Structure 1
Amino acid sequence: MAIPIGGPAQQIAYFVPDVVEAAMQHSAIYGSGPYYVVREIPLTTCLYYEEPAHFVHTSAYGQWGEVMIEFVQQDSAERSCFTDLYPDGAQGMHHVALIVDDLKSAMHGFEDAGHPAALYAEVAPGQGFAMMDCVAELGHFIELYEPSEALLGVYELVRASAQGWDGSDPIRDLSFS
């Protein structure tokens, strides 16, 4: 059964022990960047397979050609969809992100196809995202979120900063608050 997901992948994300180190390496090897680091991203809601959870993470966002690259490090010790895929300090490609018109509808489509929400979280009330468990089929998760002014603003900032970037100042701080 086809899952109605909308447009193409917007982002490829990797789970790593240190986002700054990973971003610096990727930038040096592939020319991606610059990277915007958001530390200890606050979540107002967090569910791990529908159960209340605590998940603290830091992310670095940079542009690589037409796609955003995200590096994610987990700052909390609790089990998560990140440590499920990469336990004991392992690292690798974790998810592909899609922007969908209706988050709840897209989540239901994935769930109906046998891909539960491993993580549902909100960075602010009503600004949610979900990690759909497609590991058995694809080897990674699919992240879903709706377009919002804040989300699209981050994508535009990252994309615009990469245009004509000379390689200087590859790591930059950003805050979501």
Structure 2
Amino acid sequence: MLSALLEQRPVRQIAYFVPDIVAAAKAHMAAFGSGPFYIADHIPLTLSLHRGQPAELDHSSAYGQWGEVMVEFVQQNNDGPSVFRDLYPEGRQGMHHVALIVDDIKAAVQRFEEAGHEMALYAEVAPGVGFAMMDCVDTLGHFVELYEPTPPLLAVYDIVRSSARDFDGADPIRHFTVT
């Protein structure tokens, strides 16, 4: 059943949990020619539920293009429970999730839950503009992130992808604010 859920949408992003997003982005650029990377520090969330319970999540991310897929490096800036700590305890890092853009997040969450994959995180960057992390660790070894194709989300994907087209290595680390 999980394979049917994943076949419905292409993977749009692969994400890694790391202790330092800038160092990880620079290492990835050196190894794979990805980039440039856009940094979003301390991404504000208006809502954060970890396994159904309110939980503060202070995180930062670096977004770059790696061929046809966006690569994200994410670090957690606070202590406490999270989907990142669920998979990687303090001092550990690695591949964390893939992201899918879905037409209807509530329906997609329901399909994943019906297939036995609980929603481990629901968070909103603005009221009603949310994303979900589905726990597929037992099956896939990682989480699956779901979000809808909102104009701000699609703009981030477009900026990252279009910047990579003519990226010559100059200005490899760039900053933007996620609102």
TMscore range, shorter length: over 0.9
Post-superposition offset of 1:53: 0.8
Which one-letter code corresponds to 1:26 in the other structure? Answer: H
Counterpart residue number, 1:58: 60
Write the mapping of 1:6-45 to structure 2, written as runs, cut at 5 A: 6-45=8-47
Counterpart-to-counterpart distance in 2, 1:162 and 1:147:
21
Structure-to-structure mapping, 1:26-105, within 5 angstroms? 26-105=28-107
Alignment of structure 1 residues 132-151 onto 2, 5 Å? 132-151=134-153
Query: TM-score, normalization: structure 2?
Result: 0.97
Deviations 1:90-129 (A, max 9, x none): 0000000000000000000001111011000000011100
Secondary structure of the structure 1 residue equivalent to 2:100: strand
For residues 87 and 175 of structure 2, the distance between their equivalents in structure 1, rounded to whole angstroms, comes to 28
Shift of 1:14: 0.1
Q: Which amino acid aligns with 2:173?
A: I
CA displacement at 1:76 relative to structure 2: 1.0
Could you tell me which amino acid in structure 1 is paired with residue 150 of structure 2?
A: S
Q: Which residue of 1 aligns with 2:177?
A: 175
Amino acid at match of 1:162: A
Correspondence for 1:114: 116
Q: Secondary structure at the match of 2:177?
A: coil
Give the fraction of aligned pairs with identical amino acids, expressed as a percent: 62
> Taking structure 1 as the reference length, what is the TM-score of the superposition?
0.98
Structure 1, unaligned runs of 5 or more: none
CA shift at 1:4, angstroms?
A: 3.9
Query: Displacement, 1:79?
Result: 1.3
Task: Find runs of 4+ consecutive structure 1 residues off by over 3 angstroms.
Answer: 2-6
